[in-house]
Chains A and B, each alone.
Chain A
Amino acid sequence: MADARLAVPAAPTAATKAPPRTPRRRRSGRSAFLFLLPWILGFVFITAGPLIASLYLSFTNYNLLEPAVWTGLSNYRQLFTADPRFYTSLAVTGVYVAVSVPLQLAFALALAVFLDKGIRGLNFYRSVFYLPSLIGGSVGVGLLWYTVFGYDGGVNQVLRGLGFSDLPNWIGNPDTSLGTIVLLHVWTFGSPMVIFMAGLRQIPAELYEQAGLDGAGRFKQFRHVTVPLLTPIIFFNLVLQLIQAFQAFTPAYVISRGTGGPADSTMFYTLYLYIQGFTRFDMGYASAMGWILLLIIAIFTGLNFLFSKYWVFYND
């Protein structure tokens, strides 16, 4: 690519004598700029620029066709005082995050501990448990869920086979539809599990040996050796999974056919944002929603870090 340009001759004396610091540094600065050029353009036009623009748009009324009209806090006022659907979407996402993230992490930790002790076939099990993480967010799996949890889908066949009757249409029923999406998310516990497994490998074997000599059984070892030493990893997974869960979109869209139904029971926050911004083209309103989401995620992440000093144990 830039091979022709790199004929910048290096100081021939370099081998015997270090060149004066300043010119070399300046040259380094100039080439650093070239290396960073794509990133700088991306930062300005794809990340930071739009981030600031969306803050501006959130104070306007804008539909893409006519110029944005400044309306001050009106979008935010509308959201918080006159839009029950906004609260519904917050509640749906809140329930989703609050139920699926802890469950997912619990499964991940349990399986990681279970798989840790040099078990035969480790690679096989790890693959099986990890695979859903790669495909869980895809449209293909969303459609599978849509099929399996539909009225006569596979799940009801199994339950009927077990003797249950009077079974609901899991997706068509507002009481159970969100549950199917939570289940889909919990199913993808493989990626935090692999991170836990890597963390477990860092725990020195001597500690278990010592604990064993002190008479600690497996459960006590787990409680007093594994968990404390793993808290930094638990914290890391928690932060990561929370951020990701707040942004869930595809399964909700695919399973509810883009409606958030039935009765708004799967109206995820991002789905409502999408509906406002890209089907109603109320882009000022959707931008306000975007910033609220950003603040929510920032607050949760900040609280996480704040509380981490009470329970995360750093061994250094």
Chain B
Amino acid sequence: MTSPTLTKSRTDTRGPELRRRSGRRHSTLKHVALLIGSIAMLYPVLWMLKSSITPESDIMTSFSIIPTSITWENYRIGWASGVGGGIPVYIVNSLIVVIGCVIGNLVSCSLAAYAFARLDFKFKNVAFALMLAGIMLPYHVVAIPQYVEFASVGLVGTYWPLILPKILATDSFFVFLMVQFLRGVPRELDEAAAIDGAGVFRTFFSIILPLMRPALITTTIFTFIWNWNDFFSPLIYLTDPAQYTLPLGLNSLVSTESGSGLGPLLAMSVLSLIPIALFFFFTQKYIVQGIATTGIK
């Protein structure tokens, strides 16, 4: 990080004391601006939080983000709302899908990344280019034949169409992320393992995989968040409300108008964002690294 004094221009001929004071004022101004910006950025989320604990009748009459009266009624009603088992079932379903996706991505992407980063094989460059091209491919182009495929083997209406693609390393982004990471791991380690008599599989599992921890954590975080939020694939593949994931279930709270109302809707929306917020607060370092090195969202 550059030190702030570097930005002082040569023409600044005031005494050190004066300069420091003006610097402080400058930085106070900056902080005020940033704080206002922060509140503006967080306003929608804070308003949602506050509304979720506000009595239904007061929600739409106040734009303040400070709660006046607190009630848990919205959460109680929201928790019991929804068709096909409601919110608790949607949460369990989402967890099943997301955990399946995380395991799938961790296993398949690290295997593929090791092959791309360390092993020698025919058509390696072509395969690598195809893998990279996969990052750019819009999902909507392949969604229809994929649906046809899954329908023809009777898997529509199950979680397989959501999880199987991850088990088959189709999230190229993570393969790329791990390849990049492995490029920074010294090859001497592999060679030393080979000299000690370890085969490629053993080298991978006992030497490389443990070293890949940061990349694996980044993959876990983003796979969790993306698939927890994912709406398009569940919308296509899951038709029975008992199988809905949380986003699909939340969305249906509006369309069915199951009498739950605005307060419970907002309360359950808050609930759906909590796991993301938790991940965010506890793994920020990895998130920031992940975005900075590969440009993930």
Contacts and interface: CB of A to CB of B under 8 A. Distances in A.
B269 interface: yes
Given A116-B2, A290-B141, A41 B168 contact: yes
Nearest to B222: A134
A43 B133 CA distance: 11
B297 interface: yes
Choose among B34, B262, B292 the residue with the greatest number of A CB atoms under 10 Å from its CB: B34
Interface stretch (A71-79, A83-91, A147-155, A163-171): A147-155
B255 interface: yes
A308 interface: no
Contact of B7 (A117, A270, A274): A117
B60 A138 contact: no
Contacts, number: 326
Contact of B34 (A114, A249, A253): A114
A224 interface: no
A38 B297 contact: no
Interface residues of B, number: 106
Contacts of A148: 44, 47
Contacts of B142: 46-47, 50-51, 54, 290
Nearest to B175: A39
A287 B121 CA distance: 35
B41 A132 contact: yes
Nearest to B290: A194
B181 interface: no
Interface stretch (B69-77, B211-219, B225-233): B225-233
Interface in B3-34: 3-4, 6-11, 27, 30-31, 34
A102 interface: no
Looking at chain A's contact residues, the main secondary structure is helix
A138 B205 contact: no
Contacts of B60: 152-154, 157
A1 B197 CA distance: 19
A146 B254 contact: yes
Contacts of B246: 139
A286 to B, nearest CB: 6
A261 B136 CA distance: 29
A39 B112 contact: yes
A129 B37 CA distance: 9
A201 B1 CA distance: 6
Contact of A39 (B10, B168, B268): B168
Interface string B181-214: 0000000000000110111111011000000000
Interface residues of A, number: 121
B2 A118 contact: yes
Contacts of A313: none
B66 interface: no
Interface of B: 1-4, 6-11, 27, 30-31, 34, 37-38, 41-42, 44-45, 47-48, 60-63, 107-108, 111-112, 114-115, 119-122, 127, 130-131, 134, 136-149, 151, 164-165, 167-170, 175, 194-195, 197-202, 204-205, 225, 229, 231-232, 235-236, 246-248, 250-251, 254-255, 262, 265-266, 268-270, 272-273, 276-277, 280-281, 284, 287-288, 291-293, 295-297
Given A118-B4, A143-B265, A212-B7, 15 more contacts: A3-B201, A14-B197, A28-B119, A28-B200, A31-B119, A49-B145, A131-B45, A134-B225, A144-B269, A187-B41, A198-B291, A212-B10, A249-B231, A254-B251, A277-B144
Which 7 pairs of residues, A with B, have the shortest CB-CB distance?
Answer: A42-B168, A6-B201, A198-B292, A50-B145, A140-B269, A53-B145, A35-B115
16 contacts: A2-B205, A9-B199, A119-B30, A128-B42, A138-B231, A139-B250, A143-B269, A157-B60, A215-B9, A215-B11, A247-B140, A249-B232, A250-B229, A250-B232, A290-B142, A301-B136
